[in-house]
Structure 1
Amino acid sequence: MKSLLYRSFIELTNGRVTSGIIKNFAESKWSRRVVPSFAKWYGINQEEMGGSISSYPTLKDFFIRELKQGARNIDPGENTIVSPVDAVIEDVGGISSDSEFNVKGKNYSVKEMFGDRGLEGKYIGGVFMVLYLSPSHYHRIHSPVNGKVTAQYTLGKKSFPVNKMGMKHGKSTLAKNYRCITELETNYGHAAVAKVGAMFINSIELTHQGDSWRKGQDVAYFSFGSTVVLFFEKDMFEMRKDLHVPYDIRMGEVIGSYKKANKTI
C-alpha cells in the first residue's frame, strides 16, 4: 500500500509541467540567488571548485561545475578500473543466468535496462555496480576505462527518484527511467556505463562525442541527482577488496581491476 501511494504521488508530481517549472528556474538568472544557500545546505567543498561561488550565472551552471585541475587524481594503473563519478556505491553483485541483477531486494532485467539491442547476453555471469549521486556531489561523469565505444543511445521518458525511497518503493526505477547507455570494448572485454536520470529533470548531456573513451576523461554530466550503473562481462572485473556497501567514492579512485586480458583491440 505504501509503495502504491508513493508511486501515485510521484506520478502526479513528476509531469511535464512541474518538471518544466523546475528546469526553467534552474536555468534562469533568478536561480543565481539560491546558489550560496544551496552550496551551504549541501556542504559543497568550495576549495575544489573551478570557479568562485559568485561566478556561476545560474543554479544549473553551479550544479554542473567543473573542478580545479588536480582536485581528483585518476589512478594511472594499466589494469585498474576507476569510479566514473563522485558517489556512494549503493550496491554490487552478480548478474544471473537469466540476465537479472538484484538491487536493494528488487530484481532488474539487463535486457530491460539496455532495451531491445541484443547486448544483455554478454553480461550473464558478470558484475554490476550502482553508484548514487546526491545533490551534494560533483555531477560530471568520467570514463572508468580505456575503450572503444561500440554502442551509445538513450531510452525512457520520465524519471523517478533514485534515492533510497525511490529505490525501495519505485517500480523498476533503474530500468525504466530516462537513461543513456554507453557500451565500451576494452582490452579485457566489454563494459557498459548506464547513466540514469533522476526525477524532474531528465538531463544527461554528453560532453565527448568521439568513438573512444580514455580513463578519467570527462564524457558527460547530470543536471541534479542521479545514478550510474556499471556492467562488466563475466570474468572481467574484480572489485577492490576493501570496498563495501555503502561506500563513499571519488571520481578517479580505483573500484577494481581486470581479472585477465582476454581480448586485444
Structure 2
Amino acid sequence: MKKRLYRLMLELTHNPLYNYMLKKAATHTWSRKAIPSFSKTFKINTEEVARQPAEFQHLNDFFSRELKEGARPVSQAVNEIVSPVDGVLSEVGDITDKTLMHIKQKPHSLNTMLGLKGAVNTYLGGKYFVFYLSPKDYHRIHAPYSGHVRRRWALGRYSEPVNHLGFYFGQEPLATNYRLITEFESSKHRFAVVKIGALNVNSIHLSHTEPYSQKGEEIGYFSFGSTVVLLFQQNTIELAQWIADTNKSNVPVKQGETIASWVNHEE
C-alpha cells in the first residue's frame, strides 16, 4: 500500500497545480520524517548512502542522494563505456531515419527528442540505449565515458509524467518532456546523453558545467526520477557480452557497469 502511495505521489497527473503542491511537500522540512518509511518501502540500501537519514533536509533531498565513494565501481579499461545511472536498461537498438524507441508500448521519435536535424544525422546507423529510473533508484547521472563537451541544449517545457498513464495518454511523452542533451566528443567519436524530466522543468539539475568530463564523473541529477538515453555513432561500439546474451530489454543495471566498448578506439 505504501509503495503504491509513494509511486502515485512521485509519478502522478498532468495537473500543474498538483505537481506544484507535490514539489512543495517533498521539499518541506517535515517531509524528512517520511524518509525511513520511503527507504524501507523501496528497500533502499542505506549502507551505501553518503549521509545518515537525519542529515537530509527533506524527502526530495534524500531522493537525489549521493552515495559513498566507491559504492559504484567504474571500469577503468580504456575502451569500455559504462552505464550513466542505476535503473533498468529498457531497450537497446539501432538508429535509422525511422527509429521509434518503444518504451512502455509507446513509440518515440528520435527527431522529436533531439530537436536538431544535424544531431539526428550524426547518430544515424548507430546505437541507442534507454535507461528507466524508478523511485527506488539512485538518481545521480554520470558520464558514460571521458570526453570533451561539444554542446549542450535544452528542449521542451511541460513534462508529462513518466508512468503508465503518461505513456498511454501522452503523445510521445519522452520526446516532448523537458530534456537536457549533452553531446560529448572523445578522440574521433561522438556520443550524446539525453536526460529526460519526469514531472516539471526543475526535475533535471546540472552538477557539472566544465568543458571536459571524466568517465564516471557526476554530470547531473534528477530531483524527480525519469529516463536517460545514450546515443552512439555508426560502427563505433559493440555491446557488452552480458547485454548481447540477453533479450536487451528490462535488464537491471548499476551506474559504472560496462555496457559497451569502443571499436578501434584510440585516446
TM-score, normalised with respect to structure 2: 0.88
In structure 2, give the amino acid aligned to 1:249. V
Partner Cα separation in structure 1 for residue 76 and residue 37 of structure 2: 37
SS at match of 1:25: helix
Deviation at 1:117, TM superposition (A): 5.7
Instruction: Give the aligned partner of residue 101 of structure 2.
Output: 102
Matches within 5 A, 1:10-29: 13-29=13-29
Partner Cα separation in structure 1 for residue 169 and residue 235 of structure 2: 33
SS at match of 1:130: strand
Instruction: Give the aligned partner of residue 181 of structure 1.
Output: 181
Deviation at 1:67, TM superposition (A): 0.5
Contact 1:157/1:177 (8 A) holds in 2: yes
Partner Cα separation in structure 2 for residue 190 and residue 183 of structure 1: 7
Instruction: Give the aligned partner of residue 250 of structure 2.
Output: 246
Partner Cα separation in structure 2 for residue 163 and residue 28 of structure 1: 24
Partner Cα separation in structure 1 for residue 200 and residue 41 of structure 2: 20
Contact 2:208/2:220 (8 A) holds in 1: yes
Structure 1, residues 220-256: CA drift from partner, whole Å, max 9, x if none?
0001221000010111121112213211110000001
What is the aligned-residue RMSD (CA, Å)?
1.9
Contact 2:158/2:177 (8 A) holds in 1: yes
Matches within 5 A, 1:156-171: 156-163=156-163, 166-171=166-171
Contact 2:178/2:201 (8 A) holds in 1: no
In structure 1, give the amino acid aligned to 2:171. K
SS at match of 1:13: coil
Instruction: Give the aligned partner of residue 124 of structure 1.
Output: 124
Structure 1, residues 43-90: CA drift from partner, whole Å, max 9, x if none?
110110001111111011111111011111010010000000001000
Matches within 5 A, 1:40-189: 40-96=40-96, 98=97, 100-104=99-103, 106-116=106-116, 118-163=118-163, 166-189=166-189
Partner Cα separation in structure 1 for residue 163 and residue 241 of structure 2: 26
Deviation at 1:177, TM superposition (A): 0.7
Contact 2:74/2:216 (8 A) holds in 1: yes
Count residues in correspondence.
Answer: 251
Structure 1's unaligned 5+ residue stretches are: 1-11
